[in-house]
Structure 1
Amino acid sequence: MSQDIKILSEKTLADAWGKLSETRLEMRRRDGTWQEVSREVYDHGSAAAVLLCDPAAGNIILTRQFRYPPFRNGDPGWLIEACAGLLDGDTPEACARREAEEETGYRPDSLTHAFAAYASPGSLTEKVECFIGLYGPDSRMSDGGGLHHEGEDIEVLEMPFAEGLAMIRDGRIVDAKTIMLLQHAALSGIFASNR
């Protein structure tokens, strides 16, 4: 397929926390003709996310933190999410472990890779590697809450798994990675004995 794409030019529009660029390219359409298009792409790196699950208790741990883009869009800015963060040079598994402990205060007993996803592939390069992390009462290392120097002010929410699913249905959870991880947990039967 790479022979069907020709990069004509790329220019940087902004380069701060992430890089916003505009690329002009030609792509071969399915009918064989070539079409020139322009695309803006935002790149701030890829990430890892983890849904912390305690199957014995039937609970999960999520976080609530302020997200300016939804707020700017007219929605509530305090989103409920699975913990996540940018890889920053780490492997996805190391990142998932680091973010779980920084944000929630819990160190996962084990991590299982669930899937990888692009949440908005039309404009973002970010690929999120998603994990299920098992925890129990002895997994708590600190209060969590994120890193103050990174501007994080994270509330830790432990709740029944069924409540997390209900939050998707009633619109309290609108974050894509969190919806996917909760649905993955439901489909995989992690909480089958607690239904």
Structure 2
Amino acid sequence: MSRIEILEQKLLSDNWYVLHKYTYRMQQRDGSEQVQSREVYDRGNGATILLYNRQHGSVVLTRQFRFPTFVNGNTDGLLIEACAGLLDDDAPEDCIRREVAEETGYRVGPVRKVFEAYMSPGSVTEILHFFVAEYDKADKIGAGGGLAHEGEDIDVLEMPFQQALAQVASGEIRDAKTIMLLQYAQLHGLLN
């Protein structure tokens, strides 16, 4: 027997994304077996990027309404975030270039993948691919703001890197992917 055996898979929702309830048998380290049930939300994999300008010491972030944060106490539902999106069957590099153009209005040159991470592995299948890329004012090809037909209403924020770090410390920036990318930039001296 494999260490994990799926005993039952039940579809709970196929509305926005897919939610299943799994019942499985798992062999413990001591050889005993245990049956457990978990709900698993599959929304696909995604990509995110920190745009930075070394010369000006600035970063480009976005601000948009996130309903789940609103119902969990974020009074206006707005989050400051790094640009991101779902892969939608694209390669991560192609996805993030598309998302940057749609959300921020910038066209980026070379993007560098820095790591990937499971963002909420206790219940969500998503792997997020993390990128960084330099931008310049000359790379601005549109207004950004997202796609209206997808319900996006995104503010594009260009701010000093040190201000972004201060907003992490103050709690103004509370999005995990954004905090991870800003800390990556700080640890690796991208804007020093």
Q: TM-score, normalised by structure 1?
A: 0.96
Report the 3-state secondary structure (helix = DSSP H, G, I; strand = E; otherwise coil) of the residue aligned with 1:169: helix
* Residue of structure 2 in register with 1:175 after alignment: 175
State how far apart, in whole Å, the 2-side matches of 1:10 and 1:51 are: 37
CA contact (8 A) 1:25 1:36 kept: yes
State how far apart, in whole Å, the 2-side matches of 1:159 and 1:109 are: 20
1:1-195 → structure 2 map (5 Å cutoff): 3-76=2-75, 77-192=77-192
User: Percent of aligned pairs with the same residue?
Assistant: 53
State how far apart, in whole Å, the 2-side matches of 1:97 and 1:188 are: 22
State how far apart, in whole Å, the 2-side matches of 1:183 and 1:31 are: 39
CA contact (8 A) 1:66 1:79 kept: yes
Root-mean-square deviation (CA, aligned residues, Å) is 1.0
Q: Which amino acid in structure 1 is aligned with residue 82 of structure 2? A: A
Q: Which amino acid in structure 2 is aligned with residue 131 of structure 1? A: F
CA apart distance, 1:3? 2.0
Q: TM-score, normalised by structure 2?
A: 0.97
Q: Which amino acid in structure 1 is aligned with residue 95 of structure 2? A: C
State how far apart, in whole Å, the 1-side matches of 2:30 and 2:4 are: 14
Structure 1 residue runs of 5 or longer lacking an equivalent are: none
State how far apart, in whole Å, the 2-side matches of 1:110 and 1:162 are: 24
Q: Which amino acid in structure 2 is aligned with residue 31 of structure 1? A: D
CA contact (8 A) 1:110 1:135 kept: no
Q: How many pairs does the alignment contain?
A: 191
Q: Which amino acid in structure 2 is aligned with residue 99 of structure 1? A: E
State how far apart, in whole Å, the 1-side matches of 2:61 and 2:129 are: 17
State how far apart, in whole Å, the 2-side matches of 1:57 and 1:127 are: 32
State how far apart, in whole Å, the 2-side matches of 1:32 and 1:54 are: 54
Structure 1 segments of 4+ aligned residues over 2 angstroms from their partners: none
CA contact (8 A) 1:52 1:134 kept: yes
CA contact (8 A) 1:64 1:157 kept: yes
State how far apart, in whole Å, the 1-side matches of 2:81 and 2:101 are: 15
Q: Which amino acid in structure 2 is aligned with residue 13 of structure 1? A: L
